[in-house]
Amino acid sequence: QVQLVESGGGLVQAGGSLRLSCAASEGTFSRSFMAWFRQAPGKEREFVARITWTGRFTNYADSVKGRFTISRDNTKMTVYLQMNSLKPEDTAVYYCAADLPPYSDSPGGYEYWGQGTQVTVSS
C-alpha cells in the first residue's frame, strides 16, 4: 500500500556530502518507522540508519556513526539521510524502507521498499 521513491544520489569526491530523500505515497507514513539500507555489488544489504515515527530517536551502523544523520518530515511524508565526510567504501545503492513497529535493523523486518538510488564516492 505504501510506495517509496528515493532521490538525491550521485557522484561525489571523498570528503564531500550528499543528502538523500525518500518520499512516501500515503499518510500512514506518519505512523511508521523508517530506515536506510545500502548494498554494494556482490555484498549483502546492510543496515545504515533507523528513525522512529516521532523522529525523536535514531540508530546508526557503526560504520556511519558521526558522519550520517537521518531525519523525517511527517507533514511532507519524507525521510532524509544527510551524508557527510563520504568515503569510497560508502559507494552503494541506497534504499529506504518503512514498516510499523516492532522496530528492526534487519531487511526482513521491513515490508515497504524504495527502488534505490546510486551513491558513488571517488578517491
Q: What is the pLDDT of residue 25?
A: 83
What single-letter DSSP state applies at residue 82?
E
pLDDT score, position 57: 92
Q: Cis before residue 101, ω within 30 degrees of 0?
A: no
Cell 515515527 sits on residue: 53
Return phi, psi of residue 30, to 5°. Answer: -65, -20
Residues facing residue 78 across a β-bridge: 23, 73
Q: Which of 61, 66, 39, 62 is nearest to 50 (CA)?
A: 61
| pLDDT digit string (tens) for the chain, length 123 residues | 778 999 999 999 999 999 999 998 876 666 778 999 999 999 999 999 999 888 889 999 999 999 999 999 988 889 999 999 999 999 999 999 998 888 888 999 898 999 999 999 999
CA distance 117 to 102: 26
- Count other C-beta atoms under 10 Å from residue 92's C-beta: 22
Instruction: Please tell me the predicted confidence (pLDDT) of residue 14.
Output: 98
| Diameter of the chain measured on Cα atoms | 41
